[in-house]
Structure formats: C-alpha cells, structure tokens
Amino acid sequence: MNTEKPLADSALIKKLLSFENNDISVITVRETSSTNDEVRSLAVNGAEGTVLYVADSQTKGRGRKGRSFFSPDGTGIYMSLLLHPSLPAESCTLLTPMCAVAVSEAIESIVSAESKIKWVNDIFIDGRKVAGILTEGAFTKGRIDYAVVGIGVNISLPEEDFPEEIRSTAGALTENRTDFRNELIAEITNRFMHYYKQLPKKAFLDKYREKLLFLGEEITVIAADKTYTATAEDIDDDCRLIVRTPEGERIALGSGEISIKIR
Ligand code: BTN
C-alpha cells in the first residue's frame, strides 16, 4: 500500500464544496482496491452521514456488468459518494443518470469541450469515453438503506496507454493544470448534490435528454436473451430508453443487464 500524501487534497476539496447543509466527510487516499468497496464497508460498519471517498489509484476498480475499471495512479479521478436517501428502492435507478448530468456539466464548467452522455452512464467527449458511473445500493423493505455512487474520470492519458480492450474507445480530458483534479472533484460533488437534493422532482431529466447521444439513430440492443436492431427514440421519465424495432414494437429498456451498441 502506497502511504505517500494523496494528490487529491481533502482540505481543498472541502473548501471548494459550496452546496447547502454541507456535512459531508471527505476522505482522500493514495491507493485503494475500489472506492465503492471502501464506502460500502463504511456503511456496513454504521457510517451515517454523507461521505466522499477519493483515491489516486485503484487496484480493483470496478465498472458496470462485472467489468474492471482501469484506474492507474495519478491520471484519473476515482471517487465514491456514500448516501442515505430516504427514498423508495426504485429511485435508485435515477441516481446514475442524475450523476451523469452532474459529471458532464462539471467537466464542461472547467474544460472547454462539449461532453455527451451515452445511455445510461458513460460520458463522452469527441466520440471517446472519458468517464463512467457505477451505482450500487442496499435495500430494506422496498426502501434504500444506503447508496454508493462511484465515478471514474480519465483526466490525462495513462503513461503506457489504455489497455488494448478499451484503446479504441477510451479518452481523457488532457488537462494538466495543478489543482484541476481537486476542482473537478468538488464541482462534480456540488452539481451532484444540487440535483440529488431534489431527486424526486427529476430536475436533471431535461438536461439528460439534451446531452444524450444517438437519439433518433439505429442501435443494437444486447439483452440477456437476444440481440436486436432498433431505433433509439426517447428517454421516459424513469430514464428508460425507448426504442422502436423495425416491426414497429415500442420497447422501454431499463438499464439492468442491457447494453447498446452504435451501428
Ligand atoms: C463503468 O464505466 O462501467 C463504470 C465505471 C465506474 C468506475 C468508478 S471509479 C470509482 C468507483 N470505484 C469503483 O470501483 N468503480 C467506480
């Protein structure tokens, strides 16, 4: 375990947080297995408040659908928020798209580039994925016990390039200014909290639709039992992707086990 002082600076991040009723605990470490796993274990051990946990690198960074998330030292942001929303379990599915809007807006407020969202959780700049989100939750009697929202952002290109399997699709913000990392972590958190505090109103939804890639285009839907072609038509109020098959059938896709591929 690397015990050097972390690049992410908890005091500076805390100073840059500007949302109301801020009682968040900020923890920064040099290296961990997965920030999502760290905050989940805090929750399991009884942590009650909101926690922001940031690592400079992860040895077992996780992505959606059991994939790993490449998390080299110092070239990315790996952060997780521990939340205790007093909401029904179904609301948990809104956290990922809500977070995608927060991350996309935060990036645009600091970097001069337009960022787009690929349903449901990927942030793209110039056709390359620069950030992803992994939301996990624990539930009791149909309510959320706690939720973990993990965010990974590629800030600069890794020294030895991205691994082969993501080399043609991954990108980075390529921003090297000192304190950029801390500013972006704080800005993502500020915007996340802004939308989170009004989650049931779904104030993020119009922005999500505006930023969405591939609406109106033909996509390949990869479900557990079949793969088919359809046109991406809309996002409904529960953030399901509405697609229409060539036979005219309208299908609402939940994010669950479905992937989309652009043709
Ligand atoms: C994806 O693109 O499939 C989601 C990637 C989420 C990665 C972040 S990095 C911080 C947090 N800790 C993890 O292990 N994963 C998330």
Q: How many CB atoms lie within 10 A of CB 70?
A: 18
- The pLDDT assigned to 261 comes to 73
User: How far is Cα 105 from Cα 191, in angstroms, rounded to an integer?
Assistant: 8
DSSP H or E segment with residue 110: helix 92-110
70 Cβ below 6 A of ligand 1: no
Residue 128 has pLDDT above 70, yes or no: yes
- The pLDDT assigned to 258 comes to 64
Q: What is the mean pLDDT of residues 90-102?
A: 95
241: Cα separation from own chain's centroid = 18
Q: What is the mean pLDDT of residues 23-50?
A: 96
- The pLDDT assigned to 2 comes to 58
Ligand 1 pocket test, pick from 31, 36, 83, 259 with the greatest ligand atom count within 8 Å of Cβ, gives: 36
Q: How many CB atoms lie within 10 A of CB 28?
A: 21
Instruction: Answer whether 103's CB lies under 8 Å from 144's CB.
Output: no
20 pLDDT tier (thresholds 50, 70, 90): confident
5 pLDDT tier (thresholds 50, 70, 90): confident
User: How far is Cα 61 from Cα 94, in angstroms, rounded to an integer?
Assistant: 22
Q: How many CB atoms lie within 10 A of CB 177?
A: 9
Q: Who's near 68: CB < 8 A, 6+ residues apart?
A: 60, 61, 62
User: How far is Cα 67 from Cα 27, in angstroms, rounded to an integer?
Assistant: 25
User: Which residue has a Cα nearest atom 7 of ligand 1?
Assistant: 152
Rounded distance from Cα 249 to ligand 1 centre (Å): 34
Least confident of 61-70, 152-161, 170-179, 229-238: 170-179
- pTM summary value: 0.95
72 Cβ below 6 A of ligand 1: no
171 Cβ below 6 A of ligand 1: no
32 Cβ below 6 A of ligand 1: no
Token couple for 92: 């948990």
Residue 257 has pLDDT above 60, yes or no: no
Residue whose token pair is 């390359």 = 128
Q: Which residue has the higher pLDDT, 65 or 17?
A: 17
- The pLDDT assigned to 143 comes to 95
27: Cα separation from own chain's centroid = 18
- Residues 39, 43, 46, 51, CA torsion sign: positive
Token couple for 141: 């009697």
User: Which residue has a Cα nearest atom 4 of ligand 1?
Assistant: 63
Tally of CA atoms within 13 A in the half-sphere of 176 that contains its CB: 2
Ligand 1 pocket test, pick from 32, 64, 151 with the greatest ligand atom count within 8 Å of Cβ, gives: 151
Rounded distance from Cα 136 to ligand 1 centre (Å): 10
Residue 46 has pLDDT above 70, yes or no: yes
Residue 237 has pLDDT above 90, yes or no: yes
Rounded distance from Cα 131 to ligand 1 centre (Å): 9
Nearest-atom number in ligand 1 for the CA of 67 is 3
Instruction: Answer whether 189's CB lies under 8 Å from 227's CB.
Output: no
Rounded distance from Cα 30 to ligand 1 centre (Å): 17
